[in-house]
Amino acid sequence: MPHIIVKWYPGRTKAQKEALAEAITREVVTVAGCAESSVSVAIEEVAPEDWAEAVYRPDILGKENNLVRKPGYNPFVDKS
């Protein structure tokens, strides 16, 4: 406890992923008051063309009650 999953577009380096995982871990330890050894972080890369159906629909629209911070975009809203 806790396990954090970050989903983002491909293209970040291993160093960037490790830096993000370290930053997330530090903050979780501070806020949650848990041991660093109890924090795990996973990073899933999702192609931009797959984002709406693979992430936005199931994880954002499908779990709105779980969102603590909502995104400021919606790929399903017509932008024309």
Catalytic residue numbers, as ranges: 2
How many angstroms separate the CA atoms of 53 and 77, rounded?
A: 13
For residue 51, how far is the Cα from the chain centroid? Answer: 12
Q: Are 52 and 9 in contact (CB under 8 A)?
A: no
